[in-house]
Structure 1
Amino acid sequence: MAPVSYRLEASWQPDGGAFGRFTFTLFNFSAVPLAGFRLVYTSLTRVIVPEACDNATFLRRNANFHEFAPPVGLTVAPGESWTFTVSGLHRNARHCTDGAKSAYLTLASGEHVAVAVSDLLLENAVSDPPPQRLPEGKLDLPFSMQPWPAQIDAWAGDRFPVVLYPAPGAAPDEIAAVGEVLALFHRLFSEGHAPFSLVASSQGRAIVFSKNAALAPEAYQLAFSTKEIGLAYGGAAGRQYALTTLAQLMNGARTHPDKFRFPAQGTISDAPRYSWRGCHLDVSRQFYPTSDVSRLIDILAWFKLNIFHWHLTDDEAWRLEIKAFPTLTTLGVLRGPDEPLLPQLGNGAEPVGGFYSQDDVKALVAQATALHVEIVPEIDIPGHSTATLVALPDLADGQEAPESYHSVQGYPNNALNPAIEFTYEFLEKVLDEIVELFPSQYVHIGGDEVANGSWLASPLAKKLMEKEGLSGTFALQSFFLKKVKQMLTVRGRKLAGWNEVAHGGGVSTEGTLLMAWERPEVGIELAREGYDVVMTPGQAYYLDMAQADAWQEPGASWAGTATPAHTYGYDAEGEFPEELKSRMKGVQACIWSEHFLSRGYFNRLVFPRLCAIAEAAWTPKSAKDWQRFAVIAPLSPKL
């Protein structure tokens, strides 16, 4: 690794502006003087008052991209530094990750060079360290299962079998199921001792399989004795979940015998609380290699989560290969100083890209299907479409004034225009390829965060609104989304979307599933309107939210903080009136990637809260126990 030639240190002071101020110091560790340069950094804490700078000139901003020039004639000699302040911020900084996420210099020659950055320091206030996230906890039953089963009446033995194996007479598909969960275990715990063998062992215990038509497809029952384990299942998914439970029990007893045991006698009767047990991943802000996505799918299966909501497009990049429009994954993914998209949220001098080929998708869908995980693709429209519009400029109304509206993230004119005929031609072709790649009954179309005022400066949109008798942005959005829903219906698919799909009149409630994210009450409002609902409120289930108020705790804070205890204790169904509970189909974790610049930050923010949401999705409320959860959660595999 090359030595650092430049470093940008930053602090935030609560005073010095309506939302405090940044103080930046650029250090020159190179061997040559630095002059005639420009400095760029990316930050979620954005500048909105350009003139509120001291000892620097603000040049431009695009969403989270910020560019500054030093005072005319400034030279930073080797070993010296340049300091400037920025006061015109759009909000307070609240956490150490609210500062610069990346930086680079553009030298006088035009060359772009990397600048190292550090987490943001807090000045003139107390910077407390983050608190412990989990207590020591307490076990009433010494078993390592997560999520905890619906019913258990079992007691522990002093010993555990070396392996579990299919009893003689097991059907080929039952033996194959053991092999599938064994392979899953080895992928997640490469150093772990195998919980299963496909051949009998004198030191093992036999699993006697039986299919029980009285059980639901995802349900199972385990009966333990000193000689064998009876495994009854309703369907292939229930069989997998039973084997996963056995693998968890074996792993805990083997790796932590001071805490966990294996059942000697008794029964487990289990079935999920909800049919939709989801986890979302945003791969637009940060690109995750296929191997990381594959491992996340494995982790979901380990926790009996059955939905992987794959957020494939956003302002920052379009990540899915579409053969009809190759520029989506050339122009629409490249971010860099001289690329079609400017650097955002963590990338700097070096261009970055990355997308998933259709072969990648087919392999991941096959893996997920084998593990009873349904991949729901998301193409976020009509908003969050900057990358799409860069890749396909014919989707824009050329008569519309530039920067006539901005999204909440600061992107100008970032929504697909419902008045342009090519918009629908484009979506028809995209959906044709998506439904061939993804067997899911749902396609998620986003529908969120369209800025009020979008399209109102577009002559084409004005003409369409007059023709159709529409008034305002959200009536036009509803018009657009109804057309998209028709496209999905023709293709035999259902529409999923964020809660704003209901704005402006919404779409037909039949065959529509909406995700309530802005606040818990939204889910109840949607259910009253007749929509099926998945609860994923930012206040509890957004895993990019910081886990404490402490400055040194990383993450976002627009929805407050979500400690693991809060996420575990939150019960979405408890807020629903009895007559609306049938509309609530389940719960979902959301992993938004603005703050996930390292594997360490990913694992710190996602775990153990993903495990907590998995238990909310599976375990009856009456069977939940925070102290027990705290003991078992550290066994979780990480990305």
Structure 2
Amino acid sequence: MASAPYRLEASWSAEGGEHGAFTFTFTNLSQAPLSGFKLAYTSLYRVIIPEACDNAVFLRRNANFHQYAPPEGLVLAPGESWRFTVSGIHRPARHCTDGAKSAYITLEDGTHADVAVSDLLLSGRVSEPPPVLLPQGKLDLPFALQPWPAKIDAVPGEGFPVVLYAAEGAELEERRAISEVTALLHRLIPSAHAPFSLVADPQGRILHLSKEEGLGTEAYRLRFEANAVHLAYGGAAGRQYGLTSLAQLLEGARARPQTFRFPTSGTIEDSPRYGWRGCHLDVSRQFFPVEDVNRLLDIMAWLKLNTFHWHLTDDEAWRLEIKAYPTLTTTGVLRGPDEPLLPQLGNGAASVGGFYAQDDVRAIVAHAAALSIEVVPEIDIPGHNAATLVALPDLVDGQEAPDSYHSVQGYPNNALNPAIEATYSFLEAVIDEMVTLFPSDYIHIGGDEVAHGAWMASPLAKALMEKEGISGTFALQSYFLKRVKAMLDQRGKKLAGWNEVAHGGGVAPENSLLMAWENPKVGIALAEEGYDVVMTPGQAYYLDMVQAEAFQEPGASWAGTVPPAHTYAYEAEGDFPETLKHRMKGVQACIWTEHFLSRGYFNRLVFPRLPAIAEAAWTPKAQKNWERFAAIVPLCPQL
């Protein structure tokens, strides 16, 4: 693929403005002179003072989209550059991914051409390279188990069996489970030798499976003998987890025999620490095709995670097909220079889209179910709906000024208006279709980051507040969410949401589960109010956060620096009083994708922190060991 004929490079200096300044250099690498063009780039570091730029004319901004014109009459000959400075940004840059994520130019004839971009450079200071984040590690027991089990008293052997084969008389469901875990390993590590067989092999060991009523649904017990392995399980999930542990043990011993062994005697007794062991994926900011979603589900199963929180809608796109409102996945997903939604977060001259047809959703949900994973879908409401409102303009109060408020991400008027009755008809139809697609008890309705002052310039909202005797954005949000919860109650679904659902009076705690993301103390406060809680604080479990303070380390930094060692050591129960611990249902990793422009960035930021959270979700605190984890986690498959 040929490189772009234009390039944009940027550096940031602490000098030049309250939050420093970007210096952009645009170079014409084409064979022809360039004039009469406009330059657009996307960046999470937004311009908030348009006039604070030098040698350029600021044209417009929409969230992360910025557009400029060069000085009048500028002509760039081949090889020449145009340099301009922007100082009115909303916060100081801290890392190399804080500059432009993509760029394009609009030529005089109205066509568009991509512009290559480079990582942000640091001016006036030393730009430190990323440090090594994972030590070599140290093993007390040479077993390749992820996550580490609750109890292990096993003796490593000198060799390993060629295969573990099902005992004669194994039930059909047990044989199917053996086949499914074998297929899981082959999907994750295609070159791996099959760990199991349904046919006896003299070089293998016999595998006895038995269901044991005293074990929990997700629990299992392994007993190793010289010529046999016994797996007792409490339910289908426990059987899968036990087989997965055996596959890990055998694959580790095969792949790295100098480090790992297979047990020759002893036991493993295992069950999860928490019932909710989640991983979230934002597919609105960046679209992930079905095969990538399924691959992530496979990795989750390998790590014994059991809840996939699927963030399907946001300002940048609505990704779930709703047959009653087809424009959601036509108008509401297309981003591009000439599309209803402007480029954002890495988009350039080409239009981009992508959504999940309902048949795709059914297939993904079925794939997850076969791996003992529950899919919890999220439509983020009432905020984060810029794409929705472009697709469904009838849901806007036409009397409200179009820029009367802005979200924290910079989107104007991006919240569904609680005073427009058609909003509720829309949501009823959406929920009705979701109920047929997702068997989960929960539907996640977002509820986060509604801008302070949202709806306050809407005459319809003002009339509703007067009628209901309420005032302010968050009281109005509470009114809205209570109506949405009633819709879910009527359909036998429970409400899940982010911690802001409790604002302004919130919704009834009964059949509600909230995710504490803003900081760890929020979870305790929610539990005190009677809510069930999943802990997912940005300061430990947001996998888009940078892993080191070095400037060349990629990622976001608003929640601080989150190295893998911190993610691993973090204890989500924290200061939960004993009387409230029953309210904490578990923990969850969150993969927000503003920075995930490539598979390489995904794997660099998600691993090894996702396996670290999986171990926090499964392994008792007393059994956690950072050095042991560091020695084993390089074996974890990646996307």
Match status 1:241 vs 2:241? yes
- Matched ranges for 1:106-505 at <5 A: 106-505=106-505
Deviation of the 1:418 alpha carbon: 0.4
Instruction: Give, in whole Å, the separation in 1 of the partners of 2:181 and 2:366.
Output: 15
Runs of 4+ that moved beyond 2 A: none
Distance 2:176 2:166 in 1: 10
How far the C-alpha of 1:393 sits from its partner, in A, is 0.3
Note the aligned Cα RMSD (angstroms): 0.5
The residue identity in structure 2 corresponding to 1:151 is: K
Q: Is the counterpart of residue 513 in structure 1 residue 502 in structure 2?
A: no
CA distance in 2: counterparts of 1:542 and 1:120, whole angstroms: 23
* Distance apart, 1:194 and its partner CA: 1.2
The Cα shift of 1:199 comes to 1.1
Secondary structure of the residue aligned to 1:502 is: helix
Deviates more, 1:548-557 or 1:196-205: 196-205
How far residue 66 of structure 1 moved from its aligned partner, in angstroms, is: 0.2
Deviations 1:543-563 (A, max 9, x none): 000000000100000000100
Q: Give the structure 2 partner of residue 56 of structure 1.
A: 56
Structure 2 counterpart of 1:637, which letter?
P
SS of equivalent to 1:221: strand
Unaligned runs of 5+ in 2: none
The code of the aligned residue for 1:118 comes to S
Q: 1:430 and 1:29 mapped to 2: Cα distance?
A: 48
In 2: Cα distance, 1:198 partner to 1:379 partner: 43
Alpha-carbon separation, structure 2, partners of 1:312 and 1:582: 29
Secondary structure of the structure 1 residue equivalent to 2:415: coil
CA distance in 1, matches of 2:583, 2:213: 27
* Partner-residue secondary structure (3-state), 2:116: strand
CA distance in 2, matches of 1:165, 1:363: 30
Deviation at 1:126, TM superposition (A): 1.0
Letter paired with 2:20:
G
Determine the C-alpha separation between the residues in 2 that align with 1:403 and 1:200: 71
| d(CA) in 1 for partners of 2:447, 2:173 | 41
Deviates more, 1:405-414 or 1:10-19: 10-19
* Whole-angstrom CA distance in 1 between matches of 2:420 and 2:44: 32
Following TM superposition, by how much is the alpha carbon of 1:425 offset from its aligned partner in structure 2, in angstroms?
0.2
Offset at 1:214?
A: 0.4
Find the aligned partners of 1:157 and 1:574 in 2 and give their Cα distance. Answer: 39
User: Cα deviations across residues 391-446 of structure 1 (Å, max 9, x unaligned)?
Assistant: 00001111111100000000000000000010000000000000100000000000
- Distance in 1, matches of 2:487 and 2:384, equals 20
2:219–2:238 Cα contact (<8 Å) kept: yes
Secondary structure at the residue paired with 2:196?
Answer: coil
Which deviations, in whole Å up to 9, do the C-alpha atoms of 1:562-584 show, x marking residues without a partner? 00000000001132111111100
User: What TM-score do the two structures reach when normalised by structure 1?
Assistant: 1.00
Name the aligned partner's letter for residue 101 of structure 2: K
Look up the match of 2:69. Answer: 69
Aligned equivalents of 1:519 and 1:607: distance in 2? 22
Query: For 2:9, what is the secondary structure of its paired residue?
Result: strand
| CA distance in 2 between partners of 1:399 and 1:49 (Å) | 27
Deviation string 1:167-212 (CA, Å, 9 cap, x unpaired) is 1110000000000000100000011111111211111111101100
Counterparts of 1:394 and 1:10, CA distance in 2: 41
Whole-Å Cα distance in 2 between the matches of residues 468 and 4 of structure 1? 57
Q: Secondary structure at the match of 1:575?
A: coil
The one-letter code sitting in structure 1 at the alignment partner of 2:398 is G
Q: Deviations for 1:70-122, whole angstroms, at most 9, x for unmatched residues? A: 00000111011111110001000000000000000001110110000011011
Q: How far apart, in 2, do the equivalents of 1:30 and 1:248 lie?
A: 53
Q: Secondary structure at 1:10's aligned position in 2? A: strand
CA distance in 2, matches of 1:452, 1:50: 22
Q: Say yes or no: does 1:564 pair with 2:567.
A: no
Query: What's the CA shift for 1:219?
Result: 0.3
Hey, what does 1:34 align to over in structure 2? 34
Amino acid at match of 1:632: I
Residues of 1 paired with 2:296 and 2:304: CA distance? 12
Q: Which residue in 2 is equivalent to 1:629? A: 629
Shift of 1:302: 0.4
Superposed CA offset, 1:357-391 (max 9, x none): 00000000110001100000000000000000000
Task: Give the drift of 1:2.
Answer: 2.3
Note the C-alpha offset of 1:227.
Answer: 1.3
Task: Give the Cα separation in 2 of the matches to 1:332 and 1:64.
Answer: 17
Indicate the SS of the match to 2:101.
strand
Q: Which residue of 2 aligns with 1:596?
A: 596
Distance 1:553 1:206 in 2: 48
Matching residue's letter, 1:411 = Y
TM-score, with normalisation over the residues of structure 2? 1.00
2:482 maps to amino acid: K
Query: Do the aligned residues in 1 keep the contact of 2:532 with 2:584 (CA within 8 Å)?
Result: yes
Per-residue deviation at 1:3?
3.2
For residues 305 and 157 of structure 2, the distance between their equivalents in structure 1, rounded to whole angstroms, comes to 29
Partner of 2:86: 86
- CA distance, structure 2, for counterparts of residue 336 and residue 470 of structure 1: 40
How far apart are 1:4 and its partner, in Å? Answer: 2.2
Q: Judge conservation of contact 2:3–2:116 (CA < 8 Å) in 1.
A: no
In the alignment, the residues of structure 1 paired with residue 396 and residue 11 of structure 2 have an alpha-carbon distance, to the nearest angstrom, of: 40
DSSP 3-state at the match of 1:179: helix
| 8 Å CA contact 2:404, 2:457 repeated in 1 | yes
Q: Which amino acid aligns with 2:274?
A: Y
Query: What is the one-letter code of the residue matched to 2:515?
Result: M
Mapped partners of 2:429, 2:559: distance in 1 = 37
- 1:194-252 C-alpha deviation (Å, 9 max, x unpaired): 11112111111111011000000000000000111010000000000000000000110
| Cα offset, 1:165, TM superposition | 1.3
Matched residue SS, 1:574: coil
Helix, strand or coil: the match of 2:500?
A: helix
- The one-letter amino acid of 2:359's match is D
Q: Deviations over 1:111-157 (max 9, x none)?
A: 11000001101110011111111101100000000100000001100
CA distance in 1, matches of 2:13, 2:290: 41
CA–CA distance in structure 2, aligned partners of residues 302 and 308 of structure 1? 13
Q: How many residues were matched structurally?
A: 639
Deviations 1:27-86 (A, max 9, x none): 111111110000000000000011111110111100000000000000111011111110
Q: Secondary structure at the match of 1:467?
A: helix
**1:603-618 counterparts in 2 under 5 A?**
603-618=603-618
Query: Within 2, Cα distance between the matches of 1:429 and 1:205?
Result: 55
1:13 and 1:3 map into 2 onto residues whose CA distance is: 28
**Residues 19 and 88, structure 2, Cα contact 8 Å, conserved in 1:** yes
Deviation at 1:591, TM superposition (A): 0.2
More moved, 522-531 vs 575-584: 575-584
What amino acid is aligned across from residue 145 of structure 2 in structure 1? M
